[in-house]
């Protein structure tokens, strides 16, 4: 049986050793250290007890209570470790199915992006600070491009999770596009890389001079992510929807589904291809592009009656229009402001910036009466194109499906703001794609927690950060212990809803 031995050294110090006795002679199993004060002796004895329990599986003959004594004079606060947060995120990742990836790095990078979005270099620092997980910087950057091999598996996992946890049946999906800019003013040149992603184009971040990528995202009607893809920054967003949808439908063997998207996705080519691929669509309509005759017909049919709808056949499919008094008041207020501004600009002989009702005739500017009249007729009216027959979906059902489009926009907002997917600091294509994969996994985990708790991800992260374990360092033995605080009631409630034991 091992025991703890104290003996004086030639220098006058007290050596602490773990020994066993053979033929009444001590055999040293572990030399713990040498102490010069009583406090140091106590600290080294505690270390010896811990070593015995860890390596031998037996407690020392000293009492358990004495092993819990922490010499205050020899201790210092070494920081906070978010053990509970890591356990929670690991549990949620397992519930989603991400543990099947068998790649700790990609999940750890997703976890730290949820906790505190930052660059990969700082992510490495925070992983050690928050969770005690260490990665060599060179190893992390070398492994980053290889993470993109998980993309198809990740998309299979989120689809299975959506079906299992949120009763998703693939009958309806929501699609939208956003742009992500780079902290650079230099785009990829064709001679450098023929298929370089970083290109200047129409920016939704108001960064027209900076190169960007275009990202298409497919989500459920609850906003849970299903699939994504990245395109060159100068790609027209209307050309992104079909590749994402086609790939999603083919890989998961989905026979048919309804896709909901905004007006930018609509084109004659897209509609023809959607119908060929047996995809039903509900797409926002740009009513200002309609002929005056058709606007007259729609306006006369709706009669400014709140909740009224009308369905008109067109080359883009059935056009459904609905009138809302609330929208009417909002549109009217905006129109009156625009008209007042336009008239002031005309009086001053200026064109203004994005002035809707100002037009140039010869060398002067005039108020566009025709456009003002057309705009007034469309006040309170919202339009939707669909190829779904009225027998299958009533007008009200089509409109309700379209109203869910805010959920994909919310997912983009979560990605851009809570997860800070942009700006992107990478420049190699593989690293860019790996970054977006990490953000997609983080989005899946974050959205899972939001849907299960009905709290925002920021609220959840703040609640988890309230439970930080204090790291106490024994300066004599250099051992570190963690002291956990009491879990607040709000955090405990979140853990219960997610399915994490306290």
Continuous H helices in 167-291: 241-251, 268-276
Single pTM value for the model: 0.78
The pLDDT tens digits for 102-127 are 999 999 999 999 999 888 889 999 99
Residue 6: per-residue pLDDT: 81
Residue percentage of the chain with pLDDT more than 90: 48
Q: Please give the helix or strand (H or E) that residue 495 lies within, else none.
A: helix 489-498
Residue 328 CA to residue 307 CA, distance in Å, equals 12
User: Closest by alpha carbon to 230, among 444, 440, 469?
Assistant: 440
Cα-only R_g, the chain: 32
Residue 161: per-residue pLDDT: 97
User: Closest by alpha carbon to 384, among 450, 455, 491, 312?
Assistant: 312
Contact by Cβ (8 Å): 324, 331: no
The pLDDT tens digits for 441-466 are 999 999 999 999 999 999 999 999 99
The contacts of residue 282 (CB under 8 Å, 6+ apart) are 258, 259, 260, 261, 384, 385, 386, 388, 398, 401, 402
Contact by Cβ (8 Å): 335, 356: no
């Amino acid at each position: 049986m091992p025991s703890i031995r104290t003996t004086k050294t030639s220098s006058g110090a007290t050596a602490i050793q773990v020994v066993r006795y053979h033929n009444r002679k001590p055999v040293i199993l572990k030399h713990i250290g040498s102490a010069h004060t009583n406090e140091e002796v106590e600290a080294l004895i505690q270390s010896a007890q811990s070593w015995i329990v860890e390596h031998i599986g037996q407690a020392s003959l000293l009492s358990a209570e004495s092993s819990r004594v922490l010499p205050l004079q020899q201790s210092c606060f070494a920081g906070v470790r978010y053990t509970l947060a890591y356990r929670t995120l690991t549990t949620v990742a397992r519930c989603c199915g991400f543990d099947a990836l068998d790649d700790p790095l990609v999940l750890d990078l997703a976890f730290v992006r949820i906790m505190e979005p930052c660059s990969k270099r700082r992510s490495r620092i925070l992983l050690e600070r928050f969770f005690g997980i260490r990665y060599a910087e060179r190893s992390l950057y070398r492994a980053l491009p290889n993470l993109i091999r998980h993309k198809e598996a990740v998309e299979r996992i989120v689809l299975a999770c959506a079906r299992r946890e949120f009763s998703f049946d693939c009958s309806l999906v929501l699609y939208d596009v956003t742009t992500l800019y780079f902290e650079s003013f230099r785009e990829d040149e064709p001679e450098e890389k023929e298929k370089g992603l970083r290109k200047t184009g129409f920016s939704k971040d108001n960064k027209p001079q900076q190169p960007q990528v275009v990202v298409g995202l497919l989500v459920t009607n609850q906003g849970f992510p299903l699939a994504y893809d990245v395109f060159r920054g100068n790609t027209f967003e209307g050309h992104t929807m079909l590749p994402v949808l086609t790939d999603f439908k083919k890989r998961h063997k989905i026979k048919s589904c309804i896709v909901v998207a905004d007006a930018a996705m609509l084109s004659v080519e897209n509609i023809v291809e959607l119908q060929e691929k047996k995809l039903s669509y509900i797409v926002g309509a740009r009513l200002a592009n309609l002929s005056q005759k058709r606007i007259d017909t729609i306006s006369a049919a709706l009669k400014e009656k709140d909740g009224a709808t009308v369905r008109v056949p067109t080359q883009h499919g059935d056009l459904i229009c609905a009138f809302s008094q609330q929208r009417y008041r909002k549109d009217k207020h905006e129109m009156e402001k625009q008209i007042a501004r336009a008239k002031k600009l005309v009086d001053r002989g200026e064109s203004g910036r994005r002035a809707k009702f100002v037009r140039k005739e010869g060398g002067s500017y005039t108020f566009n009466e025709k456009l003002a009249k057309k705009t007034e007729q469309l006040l309170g009216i919202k339009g939707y194109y669909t190829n779904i027959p009225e027998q299958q979906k009533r007008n009200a059902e089509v409109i309700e499906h379209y109203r869910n489009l805010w959920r994909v926009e919310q997912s983009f907002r979560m990605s851009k703001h809570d997860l800070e997917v942009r700006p992107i600091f990478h420049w190699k294509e593989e690293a860019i794609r790996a970054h977006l994969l990490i953000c997609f996994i983080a989005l899946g985990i974050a959205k899972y927690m939001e849907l299960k708790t009905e709290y925002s991800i920021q609220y959840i992260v703040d609640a988890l950060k309230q439970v930080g374990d204090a790291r106490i360092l024994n300066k004599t033995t250099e051992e570190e212990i963690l002291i956990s605080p009491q879990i607040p009631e709000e955090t405990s409630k979140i853990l219960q809803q997610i399915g994490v034991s306290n």
